[in-house]
């Protein structure tokens, strides 16, 4: 899988051993802006290009086998090419990919979602998570007759114009080129974990909806403190504000019923994507009958023209995504898949922290459920706890710094060891094994040693001091 590190620098070795990816990237840059199709794949000196994947592993154009912690950006809870999902998609291909009409598959899919997600009386499909959060915010506004959406610092809800404010530090003035100021003015960004701020804002009476990642921003990168979600639920209910859980990542991963089932807190609206469509394109908004009725045509005079929320979409609930989604959701309905991922993620978090401790390197690994994040170059007070959920004494902006300037070298260092992190962390799936995790921890230890040898930690600490 991995070759022994050489005496050359991480970067030089990467350029040599991943020459095939460099060549594809060169061609890509000529036809695709910056050569990448998702901003999250930005990596210096160039990203890796993959040819095939199976289970928890994938193979790049140079023939390296990589343990995959991106797993379809979190959509492949069953791993790559789950045999049942693949068979369902193949069978559907024979029957057609788009009927320009309703089909039973979409009904089965909605029925399965309703079985699992506590807040789901009705389900409306979209083609992505970005579309789902856009639709949920529109529904909240239509149902309440108010305009303002409240979101939280560092929480990611896709790339629609209403979702982007305050996503990256500095949270109070994230530049958003191309998004009209008027639109940004309809969204207010609050610090998470500050119930008094939420209470004061909702008391002004103009808030339509509060949207939140129930894991905390960027799948638990900025953890929520105990009690915050429950307090937000109380406050939104008291002020007639729609509470939207963005469960694009947490849905079906935090538990078969998502974060809402794991934490026992039921939102008014929930956005889903990724796992919901079994790793194919797709998303959904689900919620109670009253609010979801705004999407339905009615015979009531004037309703369709003035009250109904418009929602077309060519590929909504397309037969291929429906087939994959139904099959996947049936397979993850008891909690065994989630328990496997959670146990391995706890093992990896503890292993990574032990390596950092041993090498006396500033940094920590943390997370919850089946995910982990690594932040190098900063310290937290409780690293010795091993499996860490909330790093103590680290602010949201630092956590959202996504690994700082050391994230890139770590990522390419790990690629040299046969491990593809998802930025500076990762997600587990049912196909990962203890062997994968132990290999990853050992690889991390070797990469830390190389980064120490190259003086990268000294440079990062000096950079931080300059800021
Ligand atoms: C919490 C959350 N919401 C929304 C989105 C956007 O989903 P999509 O990439 O399908 O548009 C993402 C994507 O990663 C996400 O993590």
In terms of DSSP bridges, do strands 122-126 and 363-366 run parallel, antiparallel, or are they unpaired? unpaired
Which of 71, 155, 157, 218 maximizes ligand 1 atoms within 8 Å of its Cβ, making it the mutation to test the pocket?
157
Residue with tokens 């919901």: 276
E strand segments, 229-291: 242-246, 269-273, 283-287
Report residue 460's pLDDT band, with 50, 70 and 90 as the boundaries. low
Q: Among the atoms of ligand 1, which is closest to the Cα of residue 130?
A: 11
DSSP code string of 284-346: EEEE-HHHHGGGS--SSTTIIIIISPP---TTTT-HHHHHHHHHHHHHTSSTHHHHHHHHHHH
Which of 130, 160, 251, 402 maximizes ligand 1 atoms within 8 Å of its Cβ, making it the mutation to test the pocket?
130
Lookup: tokens for 273: 């994507």
In terms of DSSP bridges, do strands 371-376 and 363-366 run parallel, antiparallel, or are they unpaired? antiparallel
Mean pLDDT, rounded, for 359-383: 94
- Higher-pLDDT residue of 97 and 464 is 97
Least confident range from 99-103, 253-257, 380-384: namely 380-384
Q: Give 453 Cα–ligand 1 centroid separation in angstroms.
A: 37
pLDDT above 70: residue 413:
yes
Q: Give 36 Cα–ligand 1 centroid separation in angstroms.
A: 17
Report residue 385's pLDDT band, with 50, 70 and 90 as the boundaries. confident
Q: Which residue has the least CA distance to atom 13 on ligand 1? A: 158
pLDDT above 80: residue 462:
no
Nearest to 2 by CA among 432, 349, 420: 420
SS3 for 149? strand
Q: Among the atoms of ligand 1, which is closest to the Cα of residue 281?
A: 10
Say how far apart CA 282 and CA 131 lie, in whole Å. Answer: 9
**By the 8 A CB rule, do 246 and 133 touch?**
yes
Say how far apart CA 436 and CA 33 lie, in whole Å. Answer: 34
Q: Which residue has the least CA distance to atom 8 on ligand 1? A: 129
Q: Give 157 Cα–ligand 1 centroid separation in angstroms.
A: 6
- Report CA dihedral (244, 248, 252, 254) to the nearest 10 degrees: -80
- Predicted local confidence at residue 384, as pLDDT: 84
Q: Give 7 Cα–ligand 1 centroid separation in angstroms.
A: 40
Q: Which residue has the least CA distance to atom 3 on ligand 1? A: 157
**By the 8 A CB rule, do 157 and 211 touch?**
yes
Least confident range from 33-47, 258-272, 450-464: namely 450-464
Q: Is the dihedral of CA 164, 166, 167, 170 positive or negative?
A: positive
Q: Among the atoms of ligand 1, which is closest to the Cα of residue 38?
A: 9
Q: Give 246 Cα–ligand 1 centroid separation in angstroms.
A: 8
Q: Give 216 Cα–ligand 1 centroid separation in angstroms.
A: 14
Which of 40, 73, 149, 158 maximizes ligand 1 atoms within 8 Å of its Cβ, making it the mutation to test the pocket?
158
3-state secondary structure labels for all residues of the chain: CCCCCCCCCHHHHHHHHCHHHHHHHHHHHHHCHHHCCCHHHCCCCCCCCEEEEEECEEEECCCCEEEECCCHHHCCCCCECCHHHHHHHHHHHHHCCCCCCCCHHHHHHHHHHHHHCCCCCEEEEECCHHHHHHHHHHHHHHHHCCCEEEEECCCCCCCCCCCCCCCCCCHHHCCCCCCCHHHHCCEEEECCCCHHHHHHHHCCCCEEEEEECCCEHHHHCEECCCCHHHHHHHHHHHCCCEEEEECCCCECCCECCHHHHHHCCCCCEEEEEHHHHCCCCCEEEEECHHHHHHHCCCCCCCHHHHHCCCCCCCCCCCHHHHHHHHHHHHHCCCCHHHHHHHHHHHHHHHHHHHHHHHHCCCEEEECCCCEEEEEECCCCCCHHHCCCCCCCCCCHHHHHCCCHHHHHHHHHHHHHCCEECECCEEECCCCCCHHHHHHHHHHHHHHHHHHHHCCHHHHHHHHHHHC
pLDDT tens across 208-263, in order? 999 999 999 999 999 999 999 999 999 999 999 999 999 999 999 999 999 999 99
pLDDT above 80: residue 13:
yes
Q: Which domains are assigned to the chain?
A: 10-77+336-466 (3.90.1150.10), 83-331 (3.40.640.10)
**By the 8 A CB rule, do 332 and 252 touch?**
yes
Q: Give 399 Cα–ligand 1 centroid separation in angstroms.
A: 19
Residue with tokens 């560092």: 154
Q: Among the atoms of ligand 1, which is closest to the Cα of residue 213?
A: 1
pLDDT above 70: residue 5:
no
Angle between helices 83-95 and 319-331 (to 10 degrees): 150
Q: Give 353 Cα–ligand 1 centroid separation in angstroms.
A: 28
Lookup: tokens for 409: 């070298």
SS3 for 370? coil
Report residue 405's pLDDT band, with 50, 70 and 90 as the boundaries. confident
My answer on whether omega of the bond before 170 falls inside 30° of 0, hence cis, is yes
Least confident range from 89-93, 235-239, 454-458: namely 454-458
Q: Which residue has the least CA distance to atom 9 on ligand 1? A: 129
- Predicted local confidence at residue 183, as pLDDT: 97
Q: Give 248 Cα–ligand 1 centroid separation in angstroms.
A: 6
Say how far apart CA 10 and CA 345 lie, in whole Å. Answer: 26
Q: Give 37 Cα–ligand 1 centroid separation in angstroms.
A: 15
Nearest to 376 by CA among 442, 464, 441: 464
pLDDT above 80: residue 467:
no
Share of the chain above pLDDT 90, in %: 93
Say how far apart CA 62 and CA 50 lie, in whole Å. Answer: 9
- Predicted local confidence at residue 3, as pLDDT: 53
Which of 156, 212, 259, 285 maximizes ligand 1 atoms within 8 Å of its Cβ, making it the mutation to test the pocket?
156
Q: Give 259 Cα–ligand 1 centroid separation in angstroms.
A: 15
Residues with CB under 6 A from ligand 1: 73, 128-130, 133, 156-158, 213, 246, 248-249, 273, 283
Considering just the CA atoms, what is the radius of gyration of the chain in Å?
Answer: 22
pLDDT above 60: residue 90:
yes
Q: Would residue 349 be called left, alpha or beta, if left means φ above 0 and alpha means ψ between -120 and 50 degrees?
A: alpha
């Amino acid at each position: 899988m991995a070759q022994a590190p050489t005496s050359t620098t991480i970067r030089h070795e990467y350029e040599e051993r991943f020459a095939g990816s460099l060549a594809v990237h060169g061609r890509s840059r000529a036809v695709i802006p910056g050569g990448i199709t998702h901003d999250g794949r930005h990596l210096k000196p160039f990203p890796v290009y993959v040819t095939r994947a199976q289970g928890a592993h994938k193979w790049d154009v140079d023939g390296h086998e990589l343990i995959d912690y991106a797993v379809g950006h979190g959509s492949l809870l069953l791993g790559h090419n789950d045999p049942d999902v693949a068979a369902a998609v193949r069978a559907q291909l024979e029957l057609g990919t788009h009927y320009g009409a309703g089909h039973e598959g979409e009904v089965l899919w909605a029925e399965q979602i309703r079985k699992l997600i506590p807040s789901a009386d009705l389900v409306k499909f979209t083609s992505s998570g970005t579309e789902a959060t856009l639709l949920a915010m529109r529904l909240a506004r239509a149902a309440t007759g108010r305009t303002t959406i409240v979101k939280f610092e560092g929480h990611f809800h896709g790339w629609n114009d209403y979702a982007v404010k305050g996503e990256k530090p500095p949270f109070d003035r994230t530049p958003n080129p191309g998004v009209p100021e008027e639109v940004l003015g309809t969204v207010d960004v609050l610090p998470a974990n500050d119930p008094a701020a939420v209470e004061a804002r909702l008391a002004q009476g103009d808030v339509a909806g509060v949207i939140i990642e129930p894991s905390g921003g960027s799948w638990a990168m900025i953890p929520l403190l105990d009690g915050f979600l429950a307090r937000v639920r109380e406050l939104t209910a008291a002020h007639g504000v729609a509470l939207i859980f963005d469960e694009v990542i947490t849905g079906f991963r935090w538990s078969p019923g998502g974060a809402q089932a794991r934490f026992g807190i039921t939102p008014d609206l929930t956005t889903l994507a990724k796992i919901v469509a079994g790793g194919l394109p797709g998303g959904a908004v689900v919620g109670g009958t009253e609010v979801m009725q705004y999407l339905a045509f009615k015979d009531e005079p004037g309703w369709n023209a003035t009250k109904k929320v418009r929602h077309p979409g060519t590929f909504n609930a397309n037969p291929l995504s429906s087939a994959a989604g139904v099959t996947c959701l049936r397979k993850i309905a008891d909690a065994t898949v989630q328990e496997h991922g959670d146990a391995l993620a706890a093992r990896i978090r503890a292993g990574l922290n032990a390596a950092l401790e041993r090498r006396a390197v500033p940094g920590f690994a943390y997370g919850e459920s089946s995910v982990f994040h690594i932040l190098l170059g900063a310290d937290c007070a409780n690293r010795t706890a091993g499996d860490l959920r909330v790093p103590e004494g680290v602010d949201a902006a630092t956590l959202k710094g996504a690994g700082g300037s050391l994230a890139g070298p770590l990522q390419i260092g790990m690629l040299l060891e046969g491990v593809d992190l998802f930025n500076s962390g990762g997600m587990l799936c049912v196909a990962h094994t203890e062997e994968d995790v132990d290999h990853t921890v050992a690889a991390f230890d070797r990469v830390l040693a190389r980064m120490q040898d190259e003086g990268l930690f000294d440079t990062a600490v000096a950079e931080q001091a300059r800021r």
